[in-house]
Structure 1
């Protein structure tokens, strides 16, 4: 924590001089504590007709690596996920809504970015991740002052019609971290030690989901990062790279493009 406090004055000074590039002009609705309930009312009305939900998160990097012997690479990767998610806090959640044809709602917002409470003076983070977020325009002072309390979010999220529903289909890129942070706040507990228990929880709350990174393994010559795959498919993003809102919109567009070009639209 010494590094955190030693860098604090520089971080806050830089943060105050950067405008948030994710704004209403990008067709992304910014959600803070004051408009949380109103935006969930809008979302609840969307879900029945836009059941494909692309989701991405922003979190403060990786601060720990597990030590010891592991039975497999997958076990090690899960332990990295588990220990970091349990130590850190979610900062942003981006949700973008599509219908079964890959069309977004018209005449209204299709993407929501939920901005959670985060305090650089108290919460743990990796400095390199914070530097990237500052460069992309994240206002940490705003997260601290009017960020969403996770308990308030979860209460509305559980009753939104998006979770515990077989007919809602979730889309994410390299989804373990994204769902890991969501499961942590939904269950109000740390992630389980074993990955099999993690996937049991995942199937309960999000019964149907697609991991785009896994899909790319079946697609010849596609690269292994969201932005690189998007460029290969000639797709562009309307927002900053490190922001959950614009990333969720891009992830959804990539998913439907891959489905069309590599899986005959199925």
Structure 2
């Protein structure tokens, strides 16, 4: 398969390699077409997003207050990178035809930092952080994907609005909130009830790793790290790598605590996520 992609990372997996494929505007249509072809065989989708200027939510005593904080952050930020990792019920990844496994990392056009039109309260430090994270603003501006175009193509791919798909995420509120904003072309709804109704339509089954951890009696990411025998979760910054981490955590939790039964590893409702994560998981 030729997608004209750049490969940002090659991760060993036994004798094979996992290709974290960077998707830009020039190869977007070809990649989305491929996702539409594989989605029937790989019905689990790990997702991770990066948006500048999202501030960590300070958890309050009410679910509605938490949602209003989330809504404000998502509505006042712009998605610039999204990772998607497709896998089947055994954890298998799609291959490129020559034995390498594929993971996708979408790069969106953000803005020219010298002529920014967004009025963020802490823009200067946000841009500095992005540069420190390796963001090339010139490349992003010239080659980045238009968010509206991406949303339209993904909507027609069969990946969203599909009750056969399970969405696996480390932070479902942020990841799916940002993605919902792109897919609908609108700000998040005013109320939590409206958000849940819309999100349930686009992402009918959601497996949030933090909720699964709580159901398994794991109270911190350090405990999950020991279970996975992996590096620190909060220092894994690339969205493609974090999607792979979410996939690995999901499969490990399913096999270790749910006897490998997908029927027992029930997808969590987003409303439950807000109710249960008022007292958040510790790092």
TM-score by length of 2: 0.76
Name structure 2 gaps, 5 residues minimum.
1-5, 12-18, 262-283
Q: For residue 39 of structure 1, what is the aligned residue in structure 2?
A: 31
SS of the residue corresponding to residue 10 of structure 2 reads helix
8 Å contact from structure 2 (residues 46, 243) kept in 1? yes
For residue 190 of structure 2, what is the aligned residue in structure 1? 193
Please, which runs of 5 or more residues in structure 1 have no aligned partner?
A: 1-20
Determine the structure 1 residue equivalent to 2:10: 25
| Pairwise CA distance, 1:90 | 0.4
Alignment partner of 1:73 is 2:62 = yes
Specify the alignment match of 1:102 in structure 2: 91
Deviations 1:27-69 (A, max 9, x none): 1110000110111122122111111000000110326989xxx
Indicate conservation of the 8 Å contact 1:222/1:232, yes or no: no
Residue aligned with 1:54, SS = strand
Tell whether the 8 Å contact from 1:230 to 1:250 is kept in structure 2 after alignment: no
* Distance of 2:119 and 2:101 partners within structure 1: 33
Which structure features the higher share of strand residues?
2
What is the 5 A alignment of 1:164-203? 164-203=161-200
Whole-Å separation in 1 of the counterparts to 2:225 and 2:24: 29
Look up the match of 2:215. 218
Q: TM-score, normalised by structure 1?
A: 0.81
Match of 1:61 in 2: 53
The structure-2 alpha-carbon separation of the partners of 1:193 and 1:235, relative to structure 1 and needing over 3 Å to count, comes to: same
Task: Give the match for residue 258 of structure 2.
Answer: 263
Q: Distance in 1 between matches of 2:225 and 2:141?
A: 33
Residues 108 and 124 (structure 1), Cα distance of their counterparts in 2 relative to 1, 3 Å cut: farther
Return the alpha-carbon distance in structure 2 between the equivalents of residues 71 and 231 of structure 1: 30
In structure 2, what is the Cα distance between the partners aligned to 1:64 and 1:255?
24
Q: What do the CA deviations read for 1:175-196 (whole angstroms, capped 9, x no partner)?
A: 1011111111111111011111
Distance 1:124 1:241, change over 3 A: farther
Match of 1:233?
228
Cα 1:231/1:41, change in 2 over 3 Å: farther
d(CA) in 1 for partners of 2:126, 2:259: 38
Structure ranking higher on relative contact order (CA contacts 8 Å, 6+ apart): 1
Instruction: Please list the CA deviations of residues 242-265 of structure 1 after superposition, one character each: whole Å capped at 9, or x if unmatched.
Output: 221111111111111111111111
